Chains A and B, each alone.
Chain A
Amino acid sequence: DGGITQSPKYLFRKEGQNVTLSCEQNLNHDAMYWYRQDPGQGLRLIYYSQIVNDFQKGDIAEGYSVSREKKESFPLTVTSAQKNPTAFYLCASLDRGRETQYFGPGTRLLVL
């Protein structure tokens, strides 16, 4: 049963704390992405990775960091430098053959 999983579903962050969101896929896709959704807005690209050990900043990378040590995993860290972290975070991977990105179920991050 292939797909993209994200955990946790809900995450609470305290002031000054770094938190890490997990994204795993077993679709054998090379490229993976992190998007952020705010209420009433479309998704915006945070970071992307085209291949293992490579990643690039997207449109709103400030205050975030990523790693891509394994093909299956692309975790996102929301650092204390991100001043407005409350949002719904979505991970996606690219099926190059179908030219389509498929999304995980998302993680909602809330600030305490």
Chain B
Amino acid sequence: DQQVKQNSPSLSVQEGRISILNCDYTNSMFDYFLWYKKYPAEGPTFLISISSIKDKNEDGRFTVFLNKSAKHLSLHIVPSQPGDSAVYFCAAKSMLTTMDSSYKLIFGSGTRLLVRP
């Protein structure tokens, strides 16, 4: 049972245009979400996060939107650059215990973004 879903395995956009990567989740208890960028044979790099008390978080060219009622979030990259070409993972924070702030991440299957020059 996939709790975090990225239904688009790939996306291709022209350099300078907007890239929109989507993510859906099923567990309404999730209250914190993260986006990671991953190049082949490397570890994921943290990009941006959002708490459920917000509906938008922005960091430079990257903006994440959260729609709690729809259980949907999206990552916008504007303007897209060829160096943005990578696999993007959406992840939700799932608490491991109630005793401290340790948690695990539940990942979607990723979306491969290709930015064409």
A92 to B26, CA, bound (A): 25
The one of B49, B101, B105, B107 in contact with A96, judged by C-beta atoms closer than 8 angstroms, is: B101
Interface size class of A (residues with CB under 8 A): 20 to 34
A58 to B105, CA, bound (A): 11
A89 nearest CB across to chain B (Å): 10
Q: How many A-B contacts if CB must be within 8 Å?
A: 65
Contact with A along B85-110 (1 / 0, CB 8 A): 00001010100110011111111111
B57 lies within 8 A of chain A by Cβ: no
The reply to whether A40 and B102 contact each other, CB–CB distance below 8 Å, is no
The one of B97, B102, B105 in contact with A43, judged by C-beta atoms closer than 8 angstroms, is: B105
The list of the 9 closest CB pairs from A to B, nearest first, reads: A42-B107, A103-B43, A43-B107, A50-B102, A105-B43, A42-B109, A45-B104, A103-B44, A31-B102
